[in-house]
Amino acid sequence: MNKKNGINFDTLTFEKKLLNYILMKIVLFVVLFVSISSVQAQNDPKAKKLATEVLDKVKNYENISIEFSYTLENISEQLKEETRGEVYVKGNKYRLNLMGTTQIFNGTKLYTIIPADEEINISSVNSQDDTAITPSKMLTFFEDGYLYKWDIQQNQNGREIQYIKLIPIDSNADYKNILLGVDKYTKNISNLIYSMNNGTRTEIKISSFKPNEPLSENVFKFDKSKYPDYYINELD
C-alpha cells in the first residue's frame, strides 16, 4: 500500500477509477437514450400503424398456405433468376417447396430433401433464435429492427398496394431497405422487395394467400420410408 504525506494513493486511484466508470456508464446511457429516441422519432406513424395491423392479422391465423414467385436480379452482373414456390406455415412449423428442393421443419428438426442428388440433410434448429429468418417468419420478420417509412401506392390488377419502406436499424445489414407491399383492403402482404448493398434486387411476390385452410399435421412430418434409396446426412 503506497502512502505519501498521509494520503493513501491506492484508495485514491480506486476512487478515480470508480468515478470514471460511473461517468462512462452515465454517458453510455445518455447516448443510448438519445439513439433510441431518435429511432422512434424517425418512424412514420402511418407506416408503423399499417405494419402493426398486418402483424396483428397474421398472428391471428392458425395456419397459412402461400404460393409465390421469387425473382433475383442484378443488372450490372446481367443476372436474372426466376422461380416459383409454395410454403405451408403453422406456428413455427413449415414446409417449403422451392427450386426442386423441399424443406420440412417440425419445430425441432429441419429436413432438406434434394431429389436431384437423392440426398436428405437433417439438422437441429433453434426455433427461439430471433436472428434466424425462416419461412415461418416470412410475414412477421419486420416486427423489430426496422424504421418504418410511408412509400408509394400502386394499383396492381385492381388491388391498391401500399408500400412501407423498412430501413434496417443495424448499419451492418447486407441490404439497404425492404419494400413491404400491403393490400390496403385485406391488410395482407402482397410482395417483398429486397434492395441489397451489392446492387442485387430480390422480390417475393405472393400469388395465392390462403389462411386457416384445413391442413394435416402430416404436412410437417418427415416420412423416411418414402425415400428408401436416399443418402441421409445427419449434420448434428
DSSP line for 79-101? EEEEEEEEEEEETTEEEEEETTE
CATH code, residues 45-109+126-213: 2.50.20.10
pTM recorded for the entire structure? 0.73
Closest CA to 181 of 156, 199, 201: 156
Query: What are phi and psi for residue 39, nearest 5 degrees?
Result: -60, -45
**CA max distance for the chain:** 88
What whole-number distance in Å separates Cα of residue 191 and Cα of residue 163? Answer: 9
Using a pLDDT cut of 70, give the percent of the chain over it: 78
Q: Residue 127's pLDDT is what?
A: 53
pLDDT tens for 116-168 read 999 999 998 765 554 455 677 777 888 888 899 999 999 988 899 999 999 98
Q: What's the alpha-carbon Rg for the chain, to the nearest Å?
A: 25
Running DSSP on this structure, what letter comes out for residue 108? S
Give the Cβ contact number of residue 56 at 10 Å: 10
221-230: Cβ within 8 A, 24+ apart = 221/104, 221/106, 222/104, 222/106, 222/109, 222/111, 227/113, 227/118, 227/120, 229/118, 230/113, 230/118, 230/119, 230/120
Q: Is the pLDDT of residue 224 over 60?
A: yes
Over 70: is that where the pLDDT of 79 sits? yes
- Residue ranges per domain, the chain? 3-42, 45-109+126-213
Q: Report d(CA 23, CA 42) in Å as an integer.
A: 29
Cα–Cα distances (Å) from 220 to 8, 109, 121, 169, in that order, read: 70, 10, 16, 34
What mean pLDDT, rounded, does the chain reach?
81
